[in-house]
Structures are given as C-alpha cells and as structure tokens.
Amino acid sequence: MSNAIFYGILSVLPLLAGSFIGAYINFKEKLIGDIAAFGAGALIGALTFGLMEESFKLGGLDSSVIGFLTGGLVFIIGDFIIIRLGGRGHRRVYNAKRSTGWGIVLAAVLDGLPESVALGISLALNQKIGLLVLVAIILNNLPEAISSAHDLKIAKKTPSSIVWVWSTVAIAGFVAVILGYTIFSQISPDITALFESIAAGAILAMLASTMMPEAYKESGLNGTLATIFGFIVVFIISKAGM
C-alpha cells in the first residue's frame, strides 16, 4: 500500500504544478505541445508494453479485446458529452469564453481517471508495469493541467479558483489510484485483466481524440518527433529490466 500511496502522490503532483503554471504564468504553447506529445508517446508505450501485455497474460485474447474495445467506446461516449459542454479546446465547436468552465474540468477528470485506475491496477499486478504507467502519467498530466488552466482563465475563472479546482481533480486522481490498487489486488486475475484492458482502451481513445491533435496543433512536426521519443523511452524502460 505504501508504494501505491507514493506513486499516487507522484502521479498528481504534475497536476498541481501545471495548474499553478497555467493560472499564474504565461507559458509558451509550443513547449506545452512538445511535452504533451512526448507524454502521448510514453502513454502509448505504457499501454502497449505494460497494460495490454499483462492483460493478455492474465485473461487471454478474448478478455483483452473485449475490455479494450469497451474502454474505448465508453471514453468516446463521455468525450461526446464533454464536447457538448464545451470542454475540448482543439474542437472547432469549442469556445472557452462561452464555457462555464465545468466542461473543461469534466474533460480533465475524464482524461485522468483511466490513467489513475490503470496505475493502481498495475501496481497491484506488477511493480515494473506500474513504473511504466507512472512515467507516462507524469509526462501527460503536466501539459494537460497547464492547457486546461489556461482555458479556465479564458472562461473568466480566477487563478486561485483554478488552483483549487485542480487540487480537487488531483485528489480524485489520487483516490482512483488507491482504489484501483486496493480493489484489484483482491480480485481474480481474469477480472483484473478485463479492467486493465478497459483502462488501456480508454487511454488510447483519449490520446487519439485529445492529446495528439492538441500536441500537433501547438508543435507541428516537432510534436511528432517528441511522440516518437516518448514511445522509445518507455520501450527502453520496459526492456531494460528497470
């Protein structure tokens, strides 16, 4: 449990740091895009060499495929609702000035929960996979928080309220890590494998619909290169026996 608490804290600290930076500091969007792209590549590596491989080992092909598709579809449905609420900055229909800010916050929660649950499950199953997921989450959460905090400023939220909102999101993410670890360390491997692949499907759907389009919009081909580097770093970690 101590490892889950420690990893959970590490995973949400970038949310707090990013919210402060986005709320109080004018950050270059290109750099945010580079970091986001690197994080996207790292997440792809983590779900490929960690979550899905472990899910397949524990539950077999059918459980992995069903869970992965279910997670992706659930995220898509949630993302559609978020778009209707004005919570996606890269969408043409999005207008942060007209948003109440709740759509932005809900988008952050939707993006973050699958990662947090996946981290908890990974720690319950395999410390090495937990490390892969943690690295990827840290690289993803910082630019996510900076970008969303910037959008909340456009939505007329005060810097202090932005930090408080993101503190709440961070707490929710931490709780999700602990619950994921606690629940799935007590459940049969087949069910754990199913939920691990559900988390992987939701993460990939998030990357395809939010992280990667936003990163490319802000960084262009530099973002593409950063994505490649993010993936190869996680691949090296997964194969280096770390």
Is 39 inside any structural domain?
no
Is 234 inside any structural domain?
yes
Is 29 inside any structural domain?
no
pLDDT tens for each residue of the chain, 242 residues long = 777 898 889 988 988 888 888 878 776 777 777 887 888 888 898 888 888 888 888 888 888 899 999 989 988 888 777 777 665 554 444 444 444 455 556 666 777 778 888 888 888 777 777 887 888 888 778 877 887 777 777 767 788 888 888 888 888 889 988 988 888 777 777 788 888 888 888 888 888 877 788 778 777 888 889 899 989 988 888 777 55
Number of domains composing the chain = 1
Q: Say which DSSP state 187 is in.
A: S
What is the model's pTM?
0.75
Is 101 inside any structural domain?
yes
Is 32 inside any structural domain?
no
Is 203 inside any structural domain?
yes
Is 151 inside any structural domain?
yes
- Distance (Å) of CA 67 to CA 40, 56, 58, 92, 176: 21, 11, 13, 31, 19
Tokens 């990974």, located at residue? 122
Is 36 inside any structural domain?
no
Residue 16: give the domain boundaries. 2-24+44-239
